[in-house]
């Protein structure tokens, strides 16, 4: 069962009760971030990409996964960061070296789509994913050491120009690249991606990254 915690907005002093959202672990069990009753929520401001994630262990199978930092929107307009018991330090100290399977996040918003893409990139071994310094011509850019990804959360299929721009940017940064889309790809985009060896993925409503071409199938098989 998800934990519930009374919280007070530091700006307007309104009282709220926050219930941590539960996400499905790879084993199928629901997992919710353990809330820390000894810490006071603070107003969310500018934070680094890594601070938007907390490490949570599944109580059923023991797998540790990365989940979005819990937040609560107050009617006064303040966004509260809800304190949790972050197991990231514990995982570094004694969690072993086995990489756990990565769960998915149901997609209901563009932010959910970003979360799903980041979780998949972590499955590929890229643990340092952040927003790309160079914004793509469309969609959202994600970057890590040696990798560049583009996410298109819009309702239009990605075009061959989108694929070419991602590939060119990756070439200038000496990085590999991959593309995530919610609405799929045009036939021209698929053909161009095959020529340039760019893996194409479609994020389905469950948050799973589905390979859409041969390079993506090869990448997905290597990550399994």
Q: What is the pLDDT of residues 123-163, one digit of tens each?
A: 888 888 999 887 887 899 999 999 999 999 988 999 999 99
So what's the pLDDT on residue 86? 57
Confidence of residue 194 (pLDDT cuts 50, 70, 90): very high
Report phi then psi at 90, rounded to 5. Answer: -65, -40
pLDDT over 90 (residue 94): no
- For residue 144, the 8-state DSSP code is E
Selected residue with higher pLDDT from 60 and 113: 113
Q: Euclidean distance between the first and final Cα of the chain, in Å?
A: 30
So what's the pLDDT on residue 96? 40
Selected residue with higher pLDDT from 110 and 49: 110
CA distance 24 to 29: 6
Contact 33, 53 (CB under 8 A): no
- The alpha carbon of residue 75 and the mean position of all alpha carbons in its chain are separated, in whole angstroms, by 27
Mean pLDDT of the chain: 82
pLDDT over 80 (residue 61): no
Selected residue with higher pLDDT from 101 and 169: 169
Mean pLDDT, range 21-50, rounded to an integer: 73
The structure's pTM equals 0.57
CA distance 187 to 139: 19
Residues 6+ apart with CB under 8 A from 172: none
Strands (E), the chain: 4-8, 15-19, 22-24, 30-32, 42-43, 53-57, 64-68, 71-73, 79-81, 130-131, 140-144, 147-152, 176-181, 200-203, 209-211
Structure-block tokens of residue 128: 């340092």
């Amino acid at each position: 069962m998800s934990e519930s915690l009374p919280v007070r907005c530091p700006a307007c002093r309104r009282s709220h009760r926050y219930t941590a959202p539960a996400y499905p672990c790879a084993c199928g069990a629901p997992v919710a971030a353990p809330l820390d009753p000894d810490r006071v929520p603070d107003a969310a401001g500018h934070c680094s990409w890594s601070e938007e994630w907390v490490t949570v262990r599944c109580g059923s199978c023991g797998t540790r996964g990365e989940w979005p930092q819990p937040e609560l929107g107050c009617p006064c307009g303040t966004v509260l960061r809800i304190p949790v018991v972050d197991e990231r330090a514990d995982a570094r100290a004694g969690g072993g070296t086995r990489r756990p399977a990565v769960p998915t996040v149901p997609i209901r918003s563009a932010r959910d789509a970003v979360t799903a893409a980041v979780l998949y990139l972590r499955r590929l071994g890229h643990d340092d994913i952040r927003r790309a310094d160079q914004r793509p011509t469309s969609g959202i850019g994600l970057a890590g050491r040696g990798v560049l990804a583009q996410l298109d959360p819009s309702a239009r299929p990605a075009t061959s120009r989108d694929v070419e721009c991602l590939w060119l940017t990756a070439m200038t940064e000496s990085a590999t690249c991959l593309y995530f889309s919610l609405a799929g790809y045009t036939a021209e985009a698929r053909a161009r991606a095959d020529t340039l060896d760019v893996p194409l993925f479609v994020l389905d409503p469950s948050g799973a990254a589905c390979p859409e071409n041969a390079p993506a199938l090869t990448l997905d098989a290597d990550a399994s």
